[in-house]
Amino acid sequence: MNSAGMSSGERQRNPLSGLKVLDLGQIYNGPYAGFLLAMGGADVVKIEPLDGEAIRGRGGGKKPSFAMAMLNSNKRGLALDLKAEEGKTLFLELAEEADVVLENFAPGVMDKLGIGANVLQTANPRLIYASSTGYGLSGPAANGLAMDLTIQAASGVMSINGPADGPPLKTGLAICDFYGGIHLYAGIMTALYERSVTGLGRQVEIAMQEATYPALATNLTRMYNLGGVQPDRRGNAHPAGSSAPYNVYPASDGHVAIICVREYHWERLRSLMGRDDLKDDARFADQPTRGREYAAVDAVVSAWTRVRTKAAITQALRAQRVPVAPVRELPEVIADEHMRGRGMLVDLDHPDFGEVVLPHSPLRFHGEERVALKPSPDLGAHTRAVLRDWLGYDESRIEQLIAAGALGAADDTQLEERAT
Amino acid sequence: MNSAGMSSGERQRNPLSGLKVLDLGQIYNGPYAGFLLAMGGADVVKIEPLDGEAIRGRGGGKKPSFAMAMLNSNKRGLALDLKAEEGKTLFLELAEEADVVLENFAPGVMDKLGIGANVLQTANPRLIYASSTGYGLSGPAANGLAMDLTIQAASGVMSINGPADGPPLKTGLAICDFYGGIHLYAGIMTALYERSVTGLGRQVEIAMQEATYPALATNLTRMYNLGGVQPDRRGNAHPAGSSAPYNVYPASDGHVAIICVREYHWERLRSLMGRDDLKDDARFADQPTRGREYAAVDAVVSAWTRVRTKAAITQALRAQRVPVAPVRELPEVIADEHMRGRGMLVDLDHPDFGEVVLPHSPLRFHGEERVALKPSPDLGAHTRAVLRDWLGYDESRIEQLIAAGALGAADDTQLEERAT
Of B325, B333, B363, the CB nearest to A183: B363
CATH number at residue B272: 3.30.1540.10
Contact A155 B328 (CB under 8 A): yes
Active-site residue, from B177, B232, B347, B389: B177
Residue A411 has pLDDT above 80, yes or no: no
pLDDT digits (tens, 9 = 90+) for B30-48: 999 999 999 999 999 999 9
Beta strand pairing call for B76-80 and B203-207:
unpaired
CATH number at residue A66: 3.40.50.10540
B36 shares its domain with B140? yes
For residues B131 and A205, give the distance between their C-alpha atoms in angstroms, rounded to a whole number: 27
A323, A351, A367: which is the final residue of a domain?
A: A323
The mean pLDDT of A388-401, rounded to a whole number, is 95
State the nearest Cα–Cα gap between B373 and chain A, in angstroms.
15
Is A334 a member of any domain? no
pLDDT band at residue A1 under the 50/70/90 scheme:
very low
Of A4, A327, A345, the CB nearest to B158: A327
User: Considering only alpha carbons, which residue of chain A is nearest residue B258?
Assistant: A150
A79 shares its domain with A160? yes
B253 shares its domain with B353? no
pTM (two decimals): 0.96
A79 shares its domain with A210? yes
B285, B300, B329: which is the final residue of a domain?
A: B329
> Which of these ranges, A10-24, A277-291, B59-73, B310-324, has the smallest mean pLDDT?
B59-73
Beta strand pairing call for B246-251 and B254-259:
antiparallel
For residues B49 and B59, give the distance between their C-alpha atoms in angstroms, rounded to a whole number: 13
Instruction: Pick from A10, A65, A170, A204 the residue to mutate for testing the B interface (most B CBs within 10 Å).
Output: A170
A96 shares its domain with A147? yes
pLDDT at A414: 55
For residues B145 and B149, give the distance between their C-alpha atoms in angstroms, rounded to a whole number: 11
B274, B304, B329: which is the final residue of a domain?
A: B329
pLDDT digits (tens, 9 = 90+) for A169-193: 999 999 999 999 999 999 999 999 9
* List of chain B residues whose C-beta atoms are within 8 Å of the C-beta of residue A191: 15, 365
pLDDT digits (tens, 9 = 90+) for B80-133: 999 999 999 999 999 999 999 999 999 999 999 999 999 999 999 999 999 999
pLDDT band at residue A145 under the 50/70/90 scheme:
confident
Greater model confidence, A271 or B420: A271
pLDDT digits (tens, 9 = 90+) for A253-300: 999 999 998 999 999 999 999 999 999 999 999 998 999 999 999 999
Greater model confidence, A415 or A149: A149
* List of chain A residues whose C-beta atoms are within 8 Å of the C-beta of residue B363: 183, 186-187, 190, 204, 206
B203 shares its domain with B304? no
pLDDT at B207: 98
For residues B61 and B410, give the distance between their C-alpha atoms in angstroms, rounded to a whole number: 17
pLDDT at A57: 77
Is B223 a member of any domain? no
**Structural domains of chain B, count:** 2
pLDDT band at residue A5 under the 50/70/90 scheme:
very low
Is A237 a member of any domain? no
Catalytic residues of A: 177
pLDDT digits (tens, 9 = 90+) for A193-211: 999 999 999 999 999 999 9
A356 beta partners: A348
pLDDT digits (tens, 9 = 90+) for B374-402: 999 999 999 999 999 999 999 999 999 99
A127 shares its domain with A37? yes
pLDDT at B414: 54
Residue B419 has pLDDT above 50, yes or no: no
* List of chain A residues whose C-beta atoms are within 8 Å of the C-beta of residue B172: 157, 160-162, 169, 171, 219, 233-234, 239
Greater model confidence, A416 or A103: A103
Give the number of beta-carbon pairs within 8 Å between A and B.
Answer: 477
State the nearest Cα–Cα gap between B399 and chain A, in angstroms.
34
B39 shares its domain with B129? yes
B97 shares its domain with B137? yes
The mean predicted confidence, pLDDT, of chain B is: 93
The mean pLDDT of B76-82, rounded to a whole number, is 97
A276 shares its domain with A400? no
Greater model confidence, B279 or A414: B279
pLDDT at A173: 96
Q: What is the side-by-side order of every strand in the sheet holding A246-251?
A: A246-251, A254-259, A324-326
For residues B301 and A108, give the distance between their C-alpha atoms in angstroms, rounded to a whole number: 31
The mean predicted confidence, pLDDT, of chain A is: 93
* List of chain A residues whose C-beta atoms are within 8 Å of the C-beta of residue B203: 365-367
For residues B96 and B213, give the distance between their C-alpha atoms in angstroms, rounded to a whole number: 35
pLDDT at A10: 57
pLDDT digits (tens, 9 = 90+) for A18-50: 999 999 999 999 999 999 999 999 999 999 999
Contact A239 B172 (CB under 8 A): yes
pLDDT band at residue B239 under the 50/70/90 scheme:
confident
State the nearest Cα–Cα gap between B72 and chain A, in angstroms.
12
A60 shares its domain with A180? yes
User: Considering only alpha carbons, which residue of chain A is nearest residue B237?
Assistant: A170
Is A309 a member of any domain? yes
pLDDT at A412: 62
Domain that holds residue A174: 20-214+343-419
Is B101 a member of any domain? yes
pLDDT at B85: 95
pLDDT at B243: 87
Of A35, A136, A248, the CB nearest to B158: A248
Is A14 a member of any domain? no
- The set of long-range contacts for B245-248, using a CB threshold of 8 Å and a minimum separation of 24, is B245/B269, B245/B290, B245/B297, B245/B298, B245/B301, B246/A149, B246/B294, B247/B294, B247/B298, B247/B301, B248/A153, B248/A158, B248/A167, B248/A168, B248/A169, B248/A170, B248/B327
The mean pLDDT of B160-166, rounded to a whole number, is 95
Encode B176-192: b = buried (16+ Cβ within 10 Å), e = exposed.
Answer: bbbbbbbbbbbbbbbbb
**What letter does residue B279 receive in the DSSP assignment?**
G
The mean pLDDT of A360-380, rounded to a whole number, is 96
Query: Tell me, what's the ipTM?
Result: 0.96
